[in-house]
Structure 1
Amino acid sequence: MDRKVEGTSSDGNNMNEGMLVEMGKECQIWGRRGGLGHWWPELARSCHGPGSSCCWSGTAAEFGLTWARLLCFLGLLGLVSATWNLASLRCGFSAFCKCDFLPDLRGLECDLAQHLAGQHPVKQLVMKGLKAFVENPALAKPLVMSFHGWTDTGSSMLVQYLFQGRMASPHVHHFSPVIHSPHADQLEHYQSDLKQWILGNLTACGHFLFLFDEVDKMHPGLLGVLRPFLGPSWVVYGTNYQKAIFIFLSNAGREQINQLALDAWHACKDEEELQLQDLDPAISKAIVNNPQHGFWQSAIVEDRLLDFLVPLLPLQHHHVRHCVTNELAKLGLAQQQEEEVVRAVLDRTAFFPEKERLFSSNGCKTVASRITFFL
């Protein structure tokens, strides 16, 4: 005859097999909801089947019921994690800000090498800065990069390799002086709005990218409110601003960069031979000495808060050709037709200086739109 399993509950009553069966039923219900109905009944039966030696005291019985429920929950959680994976579960509940920041540095490096023509400083400085930023577990300050020259030349390509939502990501913000600060007589109002805008975003999430376009057209003094967010020695309470990325785009320094590139050509040197130590001083001087620039009297340059000054070089004929072939490759044109379109685009591209006709006046900015006229 099967031995009856008995125990004493906390109120002195006997705990018989019925209570254990109820435990098994409850666990089975949980398991079925998670697709685990085949396993949980075995757990229940193992504790009350024939010859079982599960004889619990009253306190142990209550504990056993709680423990069974806990095991059921953990099993269900295991199924969920196996189905969605833990990263998806974490992203879905509370850490979208971290999950949206998915830097693909290898993909960025490949894209820069393949599609960004004539910009070796960009490839060198951007990859150096991003690798150090992403791989550093204890950041002291945000990453701050300022691009100067032909601001259409690959300066925003990196965004799509940093955030899952790319430019549409809620953690990527684009600031334009034409849209956000058009009136010079409202400078104090713009300063207050900009500060609160940055503070509010960084309070919600540390992984933000702020893209400031046409800095050379911003009202002088506006960007001074950013100074506390850019350095390593300030504490901005309630924020984790060290994880942010600030990118500034500006035409300031373009004339100086163009002149250095022209001098290199006259000296029979390739643009790739231009050294950063020659370009940096020229750009810094163009910014600091320009009272109409957005960095004017902001102390951002003087306090060395810009981690990288990235010069964007003027593009020569072979660079524009590279841009055209890249666009045509997306269309899958035959090689003969491709060459005809390349020649047509180059013939209608303005180059400077007038005598040498060496550099494209618009970089690769209008290449995509021009191609459609010759297809």
Structure 2
Amino acid sequence: MAAATRGCRPWGSLLGLLGLVSAAAATWDLTSLHCHFGTFCECDFQPDFQGLECDLAQHLAGQHLARALVVKALKAFVQDPAPTKPLVLSLHGWTGTGKSYVSSLLAHYLFRGGLRSPHVHHFSPVIHFPHASHMERYKKDLKSWVQGNLTACSRSLFLFDEMDKLDPGLMEVLRPFLGSSWVVFGTNYRKAIFMFISNTGGEQINQVALEAWRSRRDREEIRLQELEPVISQALLDNPHRFGAPGCHTTSLSQRRCFSHVPFLQMASGAQAS
């Protein structure tokens, strides 16, 4: 009889175990618990593409390229169960064209907590890296922050504002995380999203738009192929240019690491929220 009952759990022990689980559920956030122990952790990553497209259509005036490129890149990336590299979006254009607005929308429609999500990280050179004399410490801290947060959750969003003011040394820290390797510093980072916001290329983008207007072409007829070369050249000419070696080039036949997203100068009477 003893052998027959070996391995069976008394009801009292089972009920006690259930009580402990219930107590844990009441104390802990089960989503966080799953995120911490789950093999396929998505954390609070809950993309709502329908909401994003609707909001962009209603509130981002005059930016047909930005709307199409952002949604297309995001859908392709998120729907890929095993991406080979992180999604890196590089937003270019003058101030007031909607770049920051789009970045906030992405956080809102990709993560349950929006910009307040613990997996959305926003950096500004002026605020976070203000002193050139502290650059070595900044580089160490930035590497540790990115690596640590990607270890905690591979579905993380990193927003870098005012990239034209970022010290090139800090971009060197980010380069290993942006390529197509499987693991960097022991961290799987291929599901991360990096977004860089810059005024670089804004003047050149506006010049292309002006030439189109002079040729009596509709604004919506401007294509990405017309803007990519001038953005790449502007990045090469900028002393604070960013990107991995070979990412920015005037030759479109060469592989780029970033997806350029141009923002046209706002037409008279139009507003970007």
> TM class by shorter-chain length?
0.7 to 0.9
1:209 to 124, 145, 157: 157
| Aligned pairs for 1:73-222 within 5 A | 90-95=30-35, 98-152=42-96, 153=98, 154-156=101-103, 157-222=105-170
Alignment TM-score, normalising by the size of structure 2: 0.83
> More relative contact order in 1 or in 2 (CA 8 Å, sep 6+)?
2
TM-score (norm 1): 0.62
In structure 2, runs of 5+ residues without a counterpart are none
Give % identity: 54
Structure 1 residue matching 2:90: 3-state secondary structure: strand
| Residues 164-209 of structure 1, C-alpha deviations (whole Å, 9 max, x = no match) | 1101111111111101212234333322222222112212221111
Residues 147 and 155 in structure 1, CA contact (< 8 A), matched pair in contact too = no
CA contact (8 A) 1:150 1:314 kept: yes
C-alpha separation between the residues in 2 aligned to 1:283 and 1:218? 17
Distance in 2, Cα, partners of 1:151 & 1:228: 29
The two structures, once aligned, show a CA RMSD in angstroms of 2.8
Partner of 2:3, secondary structure, is helix
Residues 1:254 and 2:202 aligned together: yes
| Equivalent residue letter for 1:143 | L
- Tell me which residue corresponds to 1:39: none
Distance 1:299 1:179 in 2: 29
Cα pair distance change 1:109/1:62, threshold 3 Å? same
1:141 alignment partner AA: K
Q: Check the 8 A contact 2:32/2:43 in 1, yes or no.
A: no
Residues 205, 60 of structure 1: CA spacing in aligned structure 2 closer, same or farther, 3 A cutoff?
same
Query: What corresponds to 2:261 in structure 1?
Result: 310
Cα distance in 1 for partners of 2:204, 2:108 equals 30
Structure 1 unpaired stretches of 5+: 1-56, 321-363, 366-375
Equivalent residue, structure 1, for 2:183: 235
Deviation of 1:295 after TM superposition, in Å, equals: 1.3
Deviation at 1:262, TM superposition (A): 1.1
Residue by residue over 1:4-46, the C-alpha shift from the partner in whole angstroms, topping out at 9 and shown as x without a partner, is: xxxxxxxxxxxxxxxxxxxxxxxxxxxxxxxxxxxxxxxxxxx
How many positions carry a matched residue from both structures?
Answer: 256
Once the two structures are superposed, what CA deviation does each residue of 1:314-353 show, in whole Å capped at 9, x if it has no partner? 1112423xxxxxxxxxxxxxxxxxxxxxxxxxxxxxxxxx
Give the C-alpha shift of residue 278 in structure 1: 0.2
C-alpha change, 1:219 and 1:277, in structure 2 (3 Å) is: same
Aligned to 2:220: 272
Letter in 1 for 2:261: V
Residue deviations 1:257-284, cap 9 Å, x none? 1111111111111111001000111111
Decide whether the 8 Å contact of 2:119 with 2:156 is kept in 1: yes
Cα deviation for residue 233 of structure 1 reads 2.9
Give how far 1:141 is off: 0.6
**CA radius of gyration, larger in:** 1
Query: 2: distance between equivalents of 1:283 and 1:100?
Result: 34
Q: Deviations over 1:56-113 (max 9, x none)?
A: x3332455x5275687689x69x97xxx9xxx97514231662311111111111111
Q: Which amino acid aligns with 1:312?
A: F
Structure with greater proportional helix content: 1
The aligned counterpart of 2:9 is 66
CA–CA separation in structure 2 for the residues paired with 1:219 and 1:230: 17
